[in-house]
Amino acid sequence: MSEPLFFDTNIVFYAFDSSEHEKQPIAQDLIANAIATGSGWISVQVLGEFFHVTVVRKQLMTSEEAEKVILSLYALNIVDLDRALVRTAISMHRKFQTSYWDSLILASANRCKCGKLISEDFTHNRDYNGVTVTNPFLRA
């Protein structure tokens, strides 16, 4: 199995946003590879945020279309939210001064022992308690 990767909501969103001509194929390849190798992780928070962004905020999909996408994402490993994860997120918020929602992403990645968080919303290459952020859209 490949190194475990945790996907932030923005990566999942770009995989299904056809208006993102440069980002979409990168996001799709990352997720497809993670599914094929069993190394990809998301949380129920990511699924909920994906639904909200695509159906409510950007209105790119109907709720039925978003539900089909979400069901397809069940091929990834999924972290459930619970009380302990909320406490860890609050602790990470205090330590790193990240928003609560970003702290919950970090706590989820940490829980499943993902060494990499794939995201464009965090500082590239920053380490958060053993989770290092990788922005796949940065040009070398």
Q: What is the mean pLDDT of residues 95-122?
A: 97
Average pLDDT value for residue range 87-93: 98
Please report which confidence band the pLDDT of residue 13 belongs to, taking 50, 70 and 90 as the band edges: very high
The structural domains of the chain, ordered by start, are 5-134 (3.40.50.1010)
Half-sphere exposure of 130 (CA within 13 A, CB side): 10
pTM: 0.96
67-87 per-position pLDDT tens digit: 999 999 999 999 999 999 999
Q: In what order do the strands lie in the sheet containing 5-7?
A: 77-79, 40-43, 5-7, 116-118, 131-134, 127-128
| pLDDT higher than 80, residue 61 | yes
Q: Are 24 and 59 in contact (CB under 8 A)?
A: no
Between CA 13 and CA 57 the distance in angstroms is 12
